A and B are shown apart, each in its own frame.
Chain A
Amino acid sequence: MNSGSNSFRNSDWLLLGLVVVMSCFTYFYNYTQPTSLYWDEVYHVTSAQKYLNNSYFMELHPPVGKLLIAAGEKLIDANDDELNRIYKDTNHVKKRAEGFSMNGYRFFPALLSWITAVVLFFIFLAITRTTILATLFSFLYIFDTALSVHLPGALLEGPMLFFCSLSLLIFLHILNIKKPNIKFKVLSFILGITFALTFLTKITGLFLLLLFPILFIGLWPKWKVWIIGMIFAFFGFLITFIGVWHVHISLGTEVTNQGFYSASALYKEALESDNPIPFSLYPIAIKDHLKYSIKYNDGVPKLDMCKVHESGSPWFYWPLGARSITYSKTSHAEDKVGYLMFQVNPAVWWLSAFAVLIAFSLLTCSYLLGLKLKQRFLLNSFCILYAGYMFGISQIDRVMYLHHYLPPLIISFILAALVLNEVKQIGKWEFDHDHKVFVALCLSICIFATYQFYKPLSTMRPLTKAQLEKRAIFPLWNLQCSGCKRNDPFFSPPTICKENQNPYPNKR
């Protein structure tokens, strides 16, 4: 597809096919590995088993992600009924049972994270208007080591990023319509649904609420069109919101040894009766769930960089990919260790961070010096989304992790496409479409090469200490070999408590 044309040619289908195949290899193929549970899978599998066994429960996160994890197991049926009941009475899996398979639980997150590559391809296409650039930009998503480890797991980020990307794609299409025709209404309705699904997977998805005031500015002065859109979006949201909570509440009928959590008296009473929960009680039930979520969040410890095994990190480290999280490791012969890490591909993350810097720079020049931009509105919109998310996160004082940066990371990919679209020159040299393709191609090769270099950290391939250290090029990542001392440049926590011991001989 060429700039200005809307028809999809054979070569465009070929490129789309390439994206599908490549992302299949990084996100879907072999998604069942590792066979053990990692990171928050230990929590979400227990939640999924509660759904599968109609156990009543409350949890920190809203239901959609966990429902999808359960739906995968229902569909694939990888474990027998006995194994699918084994964790329903606990909050997290302490030890994986013999023969327990994750194939079903990971199915939907892996599938959705695969499809996200296609969604992003169409987002890049909507911005750049050329399939070759859209394909090359898709490399940012397809070949990131951190994303390819985390998203296919039985975790919430895979579905959340899928719904988030879908919302952004619909947002871009709505902006192009600007008429209250049937397509506009349908897309607004779907936007309401995808927004609700994002928010009902993880509460941090609430940042997409910013899309609606942004749409108002984008459609201005057609504010009546915006109101029509909002009405349809609201219906989409409402139906999804009620539908999802209905599924959650109606599935949780059996009270287990975990008790009633923080259910109010009315909700408790309804749970104890043999009848299904009446619809009139839904507002109370949802409120009780939200209360529990807030209470749970308040109980989560604060970030403590001086704790020996702290995996969390402050939000301002994230754009640079700090700090890596070790999910699991296994010892092998010859002092080799296999690592499963949330370790970023620096080519992807640093390019994206640089794109954010350039995006904000272009806007600064535009506002302060009157620089003319082709897509100023879109640059504004995605910069607001990025800054809005980061600002929101900066106000949370509970411990947060690098994977909380994934939504703004996706936004920064889009900013990268917008920035390349804007660039007119590099120094004195003009920068036309062919140059852009050439630069994007070089960067894609670089992304692929660094992906290969960091891939062992996402596949548990055994590495020696020296091999790991060769990959630890950035001190803030705190990428450390098994049994090695923490090498954080700023925080070196004392390890042990001994009476009258001063572990800091050089204290000033």
Chain B
Amino acid sequence: MTKPEHFGWQGWALIVMLMLLSFCSTIYKYSEPNHPYWDEKFHVTSAQKYLNNHHFMQAHPPLGKMLIALGEIIVDANPPETDARFVDILLIGKHGPDFNMRGYRLIPMILAWLLTPITFIIFFLILRNRILAALLSFVIIFDTGQISLLKAAVLESPLIFSTAFAILAFLVIPKYVKNKWKFALWTFLLGTAMGAAFVTKLTGLFLILLAPLLLLHLWPNWKKWLIAFAFIFAGFAIVTVGIWQLHFSLGTNINPTLPMEGYHTNLHEYREILDQGKNPSLLMFPTILADSFKYMYRSHTNIGDLNLCTPDYGGSPWIFWPFGGKSIHFLSGRSKGGLGNYMYLQANPAVWWTATLSVFISIAMLLGFIFMGQKLRKPKLLISFLILYLGYMLAISQISRTMFLYHYFPPLYVSFILLALVINELKARGPFKGEVISLLCILLSSLMVLGYLIYRPMIDLTPMTDEQLKRRAFFPLWNVRCHNCKQDNLYYKEKWCNPS
């Protein structure tokens, strides 16, 4: 916060309230279901390899999985033999009895919880209005889509937390141009957040756009930007090298049941070091890192291209994501009474569609600014976050492998920032200025709560009739259907084969 006097005790009180709300909506009963679902089945096996010092390579960089392992060390929810149950495999088929997810989910859950105060502070920095910032924070607290995955032992929570923190630093830095220590600290923190995102998931790399975009805010003081860039680079490099080195250092034991006799590599020198049980030196770091990236690349290419004709398929094209399409089916079943229970990654339409609308309005405002000289309060921020949003989407559109709805979480978060910027512009001029904007925000946040109440049963296995599910799944692009029901969707005609 740059001006604590404006934030005040009311700001802190609101943070406490919002965190309480977030606790109720996201954190409470975070250990349910008490077995791994979706990508937890991969990441728990990775975490167990860290816990047992097994060498391994995987499709994703190490940080997220390290945090999952750290949670289990802190909570110690399983005995050592259970924490070694999955070291020989890459994907959990059957989790076995007495397996507890509390520890593995701890850090992702905490980071998901901390996302609320960070988002509130970001909104406050943009809007300079505590109530509006608190109301807009509902986009995090009451979004069923994010809740269903962020508290799980997967990588999205650390990724989105790093994204949010990087955005916070990006907003704070221009305010400390004249304070060299704080300027250095926040630019360094921006670099570390960017690094953390990148060593959690490769898609986090989109945050590097923030470095050149900072020039827009520091211009014409380009020398200051060069200093900022140096600190950003330092933060980024320290985190990236540090985490990867930690990863290499932890994996000292070779498990021959794993791919390539447990080495995951053909690199002779690395195999030798691993055989000797020595930690690789920093001198070998570039070679081993390149080898790990090669492995990641291979893993991603093996996933296969997107094909919406595949039955019971979770993948979706990027153009469907802003509308919440298509929902990912995590779990479902049917009780004896015929009621179905479901766990979907199901977007809260009030949140996602508001965010998408705000992206359109941001583009409209920017086009008005460029072609009609429309006056804007914060055009540089609007341009920056639009570039961040569109940059991510453009990069993703170039990837042919199967992608899933949760790959939209980073730009979704950016679109929340755009929402705040749009509200900030509307506050200044036009028919929505003054009290009307407060009413609009109250209306929007009420809709988000309502959406949460309606869609919550679809993410927490609450029993419901087929009719109740059908009523909720009104949007065809979501492709939600009841358990074992026949597909009847306008856009998805999945089939095993075509009649000859």
Which of B315, B429, B497 touches A370 (beta carbons < 8 Å)? B429
Partner of A303, one of B312, B364, B490: B490
Task: Name the residue on A nearest B400 (C-beta).
Answer: A489
Which A residues are CB-close (under 8 A) to B494?
306
Q: Which of these, B304, B367, B400, contacts A506 with CB under 8 Å?
A: B304
B314 at the interface (CB under 8 A from A): yes
Binary contact track B367-407/A, C-beta < 8 Å → 1, others 0: 11011111000000000000000000000000010100000
The 8 Å CB contact of A306, one of B308, B361, B367, B374, is: B308
What would 5 A/B residue contacts be, using CB atoms closer than 8 Å? A314-B491, A357-B363, A361-B365, A362-B371, A426-B370
Closest to A360 in B: B364
Are B431 and A307 within 8 A (Cβ)?
A: no
**Interface bits B390-427 vs A (CB < 8 Å: 1, else 0):** 00000000001010000000000000000000000110
Interface size for B (C-beta < 8 A) is: 45
Q: How far is the CB of B39 from chain A (nearest CB, A)?
A: 10
Contact B497 A498 (CB under 8 A): yes
| Interface of chain B residues 252 through 272 with chain A (CB within 8 A) | none
Q: Give every chain B residue within 8 A of A483 (Cβ-Cβ).
A: none
Q: How far is the CA of A308 from the CA of B497 in the complex (A)?
A: 10
Considering only CB atoms, which chain B residue lies closest to A476 in the complex?
Answer: B319
How many A residues face the partner with a CB closer than 8 A? Answer: 46
Smallest CB gap from A364: residue in B: B364
- Tell me the complex Cα distance, A210–B469, Å: 36
B470-499 CB contact bits vs A (8 Å, 1 = yes)? 000000000000000000001101111111
**How does the 8 Å CB contact mask read for A295-314 relative to B, with 1 for contact and 0 for none?**
00000001111111000001
Collect the chain B residues with CB atoms within 8 Å of residue A278's CB. Answer: none
Cα-based distance from A437 to B69 in the complex (angstroms) = 64
List A contacts of B314 (CB < 8 A). Answer: 508
B24 CB within 8 Å of chain A: no
Binding site for A on B (CB under 8 A): 302-315, 317, 360-361, 363-365, 367-368, 370-374, 400, 402, 425-426, 429-432, 490-491, 493-500
Q: Considering the complex of A and B, which 8 residue pairs feature the smallest CB-CB distances, nearest first?
A: A506-B304, A361-B364, A365-B368, A306-B309, A364-B364, A497-B497, A361-B367, A369-B430
- Please measure, in the bound complex, the distance between the C-alpha atom of A128 and the C-alpha atom of B306, giving whole angstroms: 46
Assembly CA distance A367 to B367 (angstroms): 14
In Å, the complex CA distance between A170 and B306 comes to 48
| A211 lies within 8 A of chain B by Cβ | no
* Bitwise interface map of A from 302 to 340 toward B, beta carbon under 8 Å scored 1, else 0: 111111100000100000000000000000000000000
Whether the Cβ atoms of B365 and A494 lie closer than 8 Å is no
Contact B363 A422 (CB under 8 A): no
On chain A, the residues within 8 Å of B425 by CB distance are 368-369
Main secondary structure of the interface of A (DSSP, over half): loop
Residue A495 at the B interface, CB < 8 A?
yes
Task: Assess the B371–A508 pair: CB atoms within 8 A.
Answer: no
B372 touches A365 (CB 8 A): yes
Which residues of A lie under 8 Å from residue B498 when comparing CB positions? 306-308, 493-497
How far does the Cβ of B350 sit from chain A's closest Cβ, in whole Å? 20
In whole Å, how far is B15's beta carbon from the nearest beta carbon of chain A? 30
Contacts of B426 in A (CB 8 A): 368-369
Q: Does A491 contact B (CB under 8 A)?
A: yes
Complex: A308 Cα to B365 Cα, angstroms: 42
A432 at interface (Cβ–Cβ under 8 A)? no
A305 near B368 (CB under 8 angstroms)? no
B432: chain A residues within 8 A (beta carbon): 368
How near does chain A come to B60, taking the closest CB pair, in angstroms? 16
Q: Which of A305, A427, A431, A502 contacts B493 (CB 8 A)?
A: A305
Interface residues of A in 471-508 (CB under 8 A from B): 489-498, 501-508
The verdict on A40 contacting chain B, using a C-beta distance below 8 Å, is no
Would A306 and B495 count as touching, CB distance under 8 A? Answer: yes
Once the chains bind, are B490 and A358 in contact (CB under 8 Å)? no
Is A3 close to B, CB under 8 A?
no
Give every chain B residue within 8 A of A367 (Cβ-Cβ): 430-431
Whether A305 contacts B310 by the Cβ 8 Å rule is no
Partner of B490, one of A302, A365, A423, A504: A302
| A410-433 near B? 1/0 per residue, CB < 8 Å | 000000000000111111000100
Residues of A within 8 A of B374 (CB): 365, 369, 371
* Smallest CB separation, B416 vs chain A (Å): 19
Those of A339-363 within 8 Å (CB) of chain B = 357-358, 360-362
A77: interface (CB < 8 Å): no
* Least CB separation from B402: chain A residue: A508
The reply to whether A368 and B493 form a contact with Cβ atoms under 8 Å apart is no
Cβ–Cβ < 8 Å partners of A397 in chain B: 490
Beyond the given A364-B364, A489-B400, A491-B309, please list 17 additional residue pairs across the A-B interface where CB-CB is below 8 A.
A303-B490, A305-B493, A306-B495, A307-B493, A362-B367, A362-B368, A365-B372, A370-B429, A371-B368, A371-B372, A424-B371, A490-B307, A490-B308, A491-B307, A497-B500, A501-B497, A502-B496
Q: Is the CB of B372 within 8 A of A424?
A: yes
Asked whether, in the complex, the Cβ of A427 is within 8 Å of the Cβ of B370, the reply is: yes
A78–B315 CA distance with the chains assembled, in angstroms: 55
A492 and chain B: residue at smallest CB distance: B307
A358 to B364, CA, bound (A): 7
CA distance A504 to B497 in the complex (A): 10
Residues of B within 8 A of A369 (CB): 365, 368, 374, 425-426, 429-430
